[in-house]
Structures are given as structure tokens and as C-alpha cells.
Amino acid sequence: MRSDPANKALSLPELVNKYGEVWRNMGPEERKPYEDESKGIRVNRTRPIYTTTGVDINLEREQENQRMLYEDYLKKLVETAVIEEKDIESLKNKSFFFMAFNVLCREQNGTWYPNEVGLVEYSIRNGITNAYHCFIDPGDIPLGYTRVAKEHSEATHKIPICNFVKARGNNRLEDGNRDEEARRKAYQGIVLEIFEILKKSKLKTNVASKDRSKYEMDDETENPFMVFCLPKQKNQVKGCIEFLCKNAQLDQQLHKNFEVLDSILLLSLLVVRMGKTRPYAVCEGDLMVTTFDYSAGTNCEYHEEMDVSADNCALGVVKKMCYLLSDILCSVYNIQPTDKHMPSQANDDFQVEEFVPLPSFNSTRSVPVNRYFHDNDMDSHSMEVPETIRPPRQLPSEFPNSYLREAVGGPSTSGEKEKKVLDPRTKLGIGRGRGIPRNK
């Protein structure tokens, strides 16, 4: 009505007069589009509610729902991996894959720059059956991150932040510039090798397609590649795979068909499968143990020479995790652990060259530094307390008079003047109150 130029000058009551009759003569079908439009306007006029961070609350709820659905889906993948093997014997032979990365840095926009990867294949029966490791050239350090990268490297993995000769993709042209084409090819090689190993990680049961559509992921009918790591490393592993896939320029969707799962949950469910219980929190503690942090042969060659803890080598992280899993699972599944399950604690190179006897306990005991008073039970009888360090004869004033007299050797009932040796501890208030009757 308002859009009609003839009505522009009319006020609202005049418009009602003009079109009231028309509206009254309209049937429900004719009125419907106008009524719907009116409802829509009312809905749009509702003020959105914002959270304290300024995000629309409906949007945040929706994102939270999506996140929870995704977490449920990941849990379902782990459960299926444990229960899809019909008998325990085949579960013992089933391969699980563990993956870890070291990084140069992480940009604020969420981009991870990987510089080392470690991946192992593990089964309960055979332990670690396959290990993959390489250093990756992450490219130029992003602007403003040199100090962060340097400090991170020095504090943890000690991988040079640029021009690392062992890193794949670290190729230079004759003019000294980076050979980007060679780096892309190196990434392609790494990605293909990793996904070739991970072929066996896919579930046999197809649980993915139905559940994935729930949270609007790609219409994948295939099960994803699956790797395990500690929950705190999940974002890093996922981010690094994404970086490799994008820079390899093979298939931009490849990293989306790759899921990083919780190794703590896996351990808990593997124990449950044998009819025993091991709560998640206990399993979490199992995988935090530091027993194998410095076991020989756990880290890659470079980090073995560096003599860093297994937590600072990508290969060390995943191998250590398998050792800790074996520590629990071998006993639960009645498997005799081999050196593929955990490193031998015996060191064949160790030889005792000379026996040095411990100091004899019968030798003269010295007085402990903080205790200089003579004690018949503890000190040798020949030792005398030097006069200079004897406490003064005067007792603290708050001591009861009767006790004071007894302590310093008051008149005896036998008439003989006794000289009582004062227990020096009482003078300093040590053992105060002992032997003094209360409320006398």
C-alpha cells in the first residue's frame, strides 16, 4: 500500500479507511500471504539475546550442540573399534595407530607448523609392529613468531627452527631461495606414506555415514582414517595433518576424512572388554607415568643423541604411549610382554667394575647437625657435650615452682643433697608439659 505513489501522502487512518473494505471482503486464502508476512516481521523484530562475549546465544547453543554431537561420534568410533572384533583373539591382533607431531609454532589463526611426525602401529599381541618417523620442513617462520619458535625449540624438542638438514622439503634453489615445488612434492610423499600406513586404521563396520550427516559434515560414505593420542595433543595432531594435506595440494578434503581419537578412552574400553573395570581417571594416570621417559631406543636417532625425554620427540611420544598401554594390557589380556611391548629394563652394557663398600654402621657416629644435645640412647657414651653449648641454668619463668625445684635439685627427703643433671631439653621448652599433671 505504502509503495503505491498515490498513497504516499495518506496517513494511517486514511489508509485504513481506504483499504478496510477491501480487507474485509478478502477470503482466508487471499489474506494468508499478508498475515505470514506480518508474522515474519514480528519474528524478525524480536531482539536477539547475546552472551557476555557478544555472541548470539542461539548461535552459541547451536555450536555447542554440534560440538557435543561430534564428541559423541568420536566416542562411538572408539567403542566400535573395540567391540567390532567378535572374539578376543582377533581383538588382540587388531592394529591401533598412535600419532604425534612436534611443531615449530602455532599461529593465532590456528595454523600449526609441524616439524616432526611419529606414527606407530600397535597391537595387544605383538606390541609395536610398525613405526614411521620423519622431520618436516615447515617453511618460513610466520612473521612475528621467530622468538616464540626459538624459545619453544630450546625448551622442548631442540629441532633447529630453520634450515634443518634432516627435514624433508628443505630444498634450496641455486640463488638460495626456497624450492617451493620440491617442498610440495616432499609433503605429497609424506601425506601418501602416512595415509598408506593408516589404511588399516579404518573401521570395518560402517558407523560413519549415518552419524556424520547429523552434524553436516561432508557426505562421506567411507569410514575415516583413525589415529589415537592423548586428548591434550588432539588439536595439534589434527592441525598438523591439515597443514600437510593443504600444502601437499593433493586433495583438499583428505584431512576431513581423518579423525584423532582419545587413547585414554581406548585403554579404558579395552580393559572393559575383558570384563574388568578401569575408570577413565585411572587410565589417564596410567598414561602419564614417567617410567619410560628415558628408555634407550624410544626416541628417534636425532633425539636419542640429544638425550631429551621421550615427551620431546614425536616418535618417543607414541612409543612411550604403547609401552604404557602394554604395561596394563599385557596383564589384562594375559600376554607375555616382549621387547616390542616395552623396552627391556636390563642393560647388558652395564658392568660393575669396582665394588665400593658402604661406610660401616659400626663406625663412630657423628652428631646430626641440628641436634647437639647429649642423648644416651643415640650418642656414644664417650661423647661429652661441650660446656660452651650447654643451655643456661635458669628455667623459663612460666614453669610451675614445684617442677622447678625438682628439676634443679631441691632439698631431698632423704636429707642428702642430690645433684640432678638437668635435662637440657626442658630448658628450651622441648617436651614441655610432659609429666606435669593438668588442672592441679
- Could you list the residues that contact Zn ion (CB under 5 A)? 300, 303, 313
Q: Min. distance of Cβ 304 from Zn ion in angstroms?
A: 8
Nearer to Zn ion, 265 or 313 (CB): 313
E strands of 359-403, at which residues? none
Q: Min. distance of Cβ 116 from Zn ion in angstroms?
A: 5
Nearer to Zn ion, 152 or 303 (CB): 303
| Residue-by-residue DSSP string for 193-238 | HHHHHGGGGS-SS--HHHHHHHTT-----SPPEEEEE-GGGHHHHH
Q: What is the C-alpha to C-alpha distance for residues 254 and 187, in angstroms, rounded to an integer?
A: 13
Nearer to Zn ion, 158 or 178 (CB): 158
| Residue-by-residue DSSP string for 130-165 | EEEEEEE---SPPTT-HHHHHHHHHHTT---SS--T
Q: At what angle do helices 263-273 and 314-332 cross, to 10 degrees?
A: 10
Q: Min. distance of Cβ 71 from Zn ion in angstroms?
A: 31
Nearer to Zn ion, 238 or 303 (CB): 303
Half-sphere exposure of residue 129: CA atoms within 13 angstroms, side-chain side:
14
Q: Min. distance of Cβ 152 from Zn ion in angstroms?
A: 15
Q: Min. distance of Cβ 132 from Zn ion in angstroms?
A: 12
Nearer to Zn ion, 77 or 300 (CB): 300
Q: What is the C-alpha to C-alpha distance for residues 173 and 397, in angstroms, rounded to an integer?
A: 90
Q: Which of 287, 229, 232 is nearest to 258 (CA)?
A: 229
Nearer to Zn ion, 183 or 303 (CB): 303
Q: Min. distance of Cβ 119 from Zn ion in angstroms?
A: 12
Cβ atoms < 10 Å from Cβ of 422:
15
Nearer to Zn ion, 4 or 307 (CB): 307
DSSP designation for 256 = G
Q: At what angle do helices 263-273 and 57-83 cross, to 10 degrees?
A: 40
Q: Min. distance of Cβ 133 from Zn ion in angstroms?
A: 7
Q: Which of 290, 308, 287, 289 is nearest to 299 (CA)?
A: 308
